Structures are given as C-alpha cells and as structure tokens.
Amino acid sequence: MSSSRKFNMVSLIRKKREKQELSTEEIRYLIEQYTLDQIPDYQMSALLMAIYLNGLNDRESSDLTHSMLHSGVVVNLNHIPGIKVDKHSTGGVGDKLSLILAPIVAACGVPVPMISGRGLGHSGGTLDKLESIPGFNVNLDLDTYARVLEKHQLVLIGQTEDIAPADKRMYALRDVTATVECIPLIAGSIMSKKLAEGIDALVLDIKCGSGAFMKTESRAIELAERLVSIGEHFGKQTVGYITNMDQPLGRTVGNWLEVRESIESLQGKGPQDVMEVTLMLAGTMIWLGGKASSVEEGIEKSKESIRNGSAFQKFIDITAEQGGDIRYLQDPSLYPKASQTVEVTSDRDGFIGDVDSYEIGMTAVELGAGRMRKEDVIDPVAGIEFIKKHGESVKKGETIALIHTNNTGIATDSAKRVLSAIEIVSNKPHEIKMITHRIDKFGVHPIV
C-alpha cells in the first residue's frame, strides 16, 4: 500500500457528484487510504452515495475491484493440481445450494475452495448453516484452508480478517448509509472476495424476485453482466445464471432444517426446484473445472455422484475434517428438536400461489434463524418448513407450513405472518421457471 496523498477527497466526491469518471490512481488512493483509516467515514459515505446515484463504468468498476482485492491477502493455490472453481450466490431465502453442490463438484474431481458469508438481512448464510452442525469449524487459517482443499478437493470457511479488508469496512458503512443496493458496489464487494480465494473459475447464482436483492429481471441481468465482465477481466472464466427467488427454495428455511434438507438432497431425495438449480450450477462448475466436456455431461456426472453415494460421503468427510459431528448427518433424527412446533393452516380451498419470500425470510430471522443485530445468537433449530409449495393444492384447515422455534412467545404471531405471506389462489398457477438466463463473456442467453 503506497499511493501518496496527492488527491483531495473533496474533489473526488465532487467529481463523482458531477458524473465524471474517477481515474485508476484516484480509485487506488481512495481504497488504500480508507483501509489505512486515513479517510473519515463521513467523506467515504458521501462518495458512496455519489457512486450510488451516478454509477461507475466498467473500467472504474474493475479498478475498484482490483483495489479492494489487493487491500488484503490474495491466496495462491497454484501448488494444488486442478482448475479450482467456486460458486457465489447473491443471497436468497432457503438457499442451501452451496451445501449440496460443493460436495457434488468435489466428488467429481474439481477442487472447490469456498469462502462463504453469514446471513444478511432476510437472506440466510452458508456459514450459519454449517455451524448448526455441532463442532463444525469455519474459522480455519489460510494455510489450513489450502491443506484441507488439497486433501479433500473441498474446504468450507468464512471470510478471514486478511481477505479484502476494504470490503469489510465499506460494507459496514454501506449498510448504514442506504448504499447497499448499488450494482457497481455490490459487484466490487462480491468479486474482490471471490478473486482473493485463489480460484480459477467462478459460477454465479444471481437471484431475482421477492426474496432477492435484485427484484427485477433487468436489474439481475445488469448485475450479472457486471460480475461476469469483472471476472473475465481478471482472467477467470465466469458464468452467471439468473435464478428465481419468488418462493423460498425447497421446503425449509432455517439453519439445521436446511442442512437436513441438503442431506436428503445428497441422498437423492431433494426437492425439484432445489435440484434443478443445483444441478445446473454443479454441472457448469464441473465443465469449467475440466472434468466434463459440456455442462450437460457435468449434470450427468453430478447425478451419478448422488446415485453412487460419493457426494454424500464427501460431505461427511469434510464435516469430519472440519471438526463437525457426523452422527447428525448419518442420522438427522438425533438432532435436538425445537421446543415448539406450530402449524400454519389454510383458511380456504385452493392452490399455493405467490409467496412473499422476503416476509418468510424476515419471519425466520424473528424466530431465531437469523440476526436482527450483529451480536444476536442464532438458534440452529428455528425456522419454517413448508408442507405445501407453489402450485400444490390445499384444503381449508390443512397444514401449509410448520413453525419451529424455541421462542414460544412469538410462535403464534409468526404463524399468522407466514399465512399472510402465502397467496392461496383458486386456479392452479403456472409453474415457476427456475432458471431464466445464462450470462457469459459472449452475452446474455435466455434459457428456453
């Protein structure tokens, strides 16, 4: 870190306020000095808002990512054979796909170095799910990270202090200055962390819908294009998919409930929506990792790894390696139950229509599955289980969902909240298209 203090922060803010481009040197200065604590939060906040309002072009966006990436350690995994591929999701409700696809892809011979995040607002996080397995340690240092990857072709950890520290500070500031939902800032934040992991290729799951940060298809595509262009700019093959987040994924929302559903999925009993997206992402990772000649062949290999048990065995092996108690994976019925289970029942005959996934996510947070404040402790058994899903018929008085919680005071209110988030319609609704677009360096391709 060495850029001199030749720039004046006020003039950088003014420049962006006036919709002008920031130079590579200016962006480098900004990120270096902010990471060194030489730029106060009030000036950074003003600049972030100017970026939020006036954007960054592709060049500025790549420069921002580059500076954020180099604010910390960039892991080198070149000594480990194979093309290392990771996946990133922009976050959703019931999104347990990483837990299923990472063991599948590793079982197919592609090394998966995965650095994941915690729950954020209404959306869950892979780390919180993994930590619901007693003993599972996601806090490995970077040497252990590389060693475990080499041994198992898989490693699952959380962001360390030395990976993209600029992002950590900027994200916390964006969170309290209403500048989170900004495509170039989201892209810089995601890609600086992913590029620091030591990957060679990346698959992106860009969620779109009521439970996603991107609510519309056009915004989701815009974000995907920016992410793919940054990945390719840094020499990493990057493929993105726009996937549906208008209903929670699968039948469970909540940390242990989602691990349980992931185990079932790895044993060949996964819900259709979860498996459709998982197989597309896993197949693409296996293809990018050079272990299949096409995505379709990658999908076939993924299915085979489920059929022959190697994917589930990989999940058991990595859990044991990272200190987790595998007895709960082998027999999930051993896991402690929530003290209260409340039924959500239908008040009429019909079909399950739209589900407000954001509301479902926030209800799960309130039940203890996520955090309202940073210091809140997660209750691993808290969550919501859907007995009925989109398009399924329901009779008046029938159970639609179950609320699992140890917070007995709120269970009944949460059940009402869940019921009002689920639309019951008289006619069977159209099937939801789970994957709508593929985005790669050649452009945007609608999936037919």
| 186 contacts ligand URA (rule: CB under 6 A) | yes
Minimum distance from residue 120 beta carbon to ligand URA (Å): 7
Token pair of 117 as six digits: 């995040």
Select which of 66, 129, 152, 193 is catalytic. Answer: 193
Which parts of 129-168 interact with ligand URA (CB under 6 A)? none
Indicate if 333 belongs to the active site.
no
Give counts: helices (H), strands (E), the chain. Answer: 17, 14
Indicate if 416 belongs to the active site.
no
Residue window 373-402: x/- pattern of binding to ligand URA, with contact defined by CB under 6 A: ------------------------------
Minimum distance from residue 180 beta carbon to ligand URA (Å): 6
CB nearer to ligand URA: give 166 or 352. Answer: 166
- Ranges of beta strands (E only) in 309-366 are 340-345, 350-355
Minimum distance from residue 284 beta carbon to ligand URA (Å): 20
Indicate if 167 belongs to the active site.
yes
Neighbours of 391 (CB within 10 A): 15
| 344 contacts ligand URA (rule: CB under 6 A) | no
CB nearer to ligand URA: give 67 or 189. Answer: 189
Select which of 88, 168, 260, 390 is catalytic. Answer: 88
CB nearer to ligand URA: give 159 or 305. Answer: 159
Indicate if 5 belongs to the active site.
no
CA atoms within 13 A on the CB side of 25: 6
| 203 contacts ligand URA (rule: CB under 6 A) | no
Position of minimal CB gap to ligand URA: 189
Minimum distance from residue 328 beta carbon to ligand URA (Å): 29
3-class SS letters over 54-83: HCCCHHHHHHHHHHHHCCCCCCCCCCCCCC
Select which of 62, 189, 210, 357 is catalytic. Answer: 189
Token pair of 253 as six digits: 């929302």
Minimum distance from residue 247 beta carbon to ligand URA (Å): 21
CB nearer to ligand URA: give 10 or 53. Answer: 53
Q: Which of 133, 131, 149, 132 is nearest to 141 (CA)?
A: 149
Q: Which of 163, 146, 213 is nearest to 183 (CA)?
A: 213
Minimum distance from residue 71 beta carbon to ligand URA (Å): 15
Which parts of 78-117 interact with ligand URA (CB under 6 A)? 91
Query: Contacting ligand URA (CB under 6 A), which of 65, 89, 153, 189?
Result: 189
CB nearer to ligand URA: give 147 or 219. Answer: 219
Which of helix, strand or coil describes residue 208?
strand
* Long-range Cβ contacts of 394-398 (<8 Å, 24+ apart): 394/346, 394/349, 394/350, 394/351, 394/352, 394/424, 395/346, 395/349, 396/346, 396/347, 396/348, 396/349, 397/345, 397/346, 398/345, 398/346
Q: How many residues bind ligand URA (CB under 6 A)?
A: 7
| 190 contacts ligand URA (rule: CB under 6 A) | yes
Neighbours of 333 (CB within 10 A): 7
CB nearer to ligand URA: give 118 or 233. Answer: 118
Cβ partners under 8 Å of residue 27, min gap 6: 60, 63, 64, 67
Minimum distance from residue 186 beta carbon to ligand URA (Å): 4
Indicate if 445 belongs to the active site.
no
- Stretch in the footprint of ligand URA (CB under 6 A) among 12-20, 184-192, 198-206, 431-439: 184-192
Minimum distance from residue 237 beta carbon to ligand URA (Å): 21
| 71 contacts ligand URA (rule: CB under 6 A) | no
| Burial of 189 per CB tally in 10 Å (0-12, 13-18, 19+) | buried
Which of left, alpha, beta for 323 (phi over 0: left; psi -120 to 50: alpha)? Answer: left
What distance in Å separates the CA atoms of residue 80 and residue 113, rounded to the nearest whole number? 11
What distance in Å separates the CA atoms of residue 103 and residue 93, rounded to the nearest whole number? 21
Which parts of 407-446 interact with ligand URA (CB under 6 A)? none
Please report, as ranges, the residues that interact with ligand URA according to CB under 6 A.
Answer: 91, 171, 180, 185-186, 189-190
Q: So which residues are the catalytic ones?
A: 88, 167, 174, 189, 193
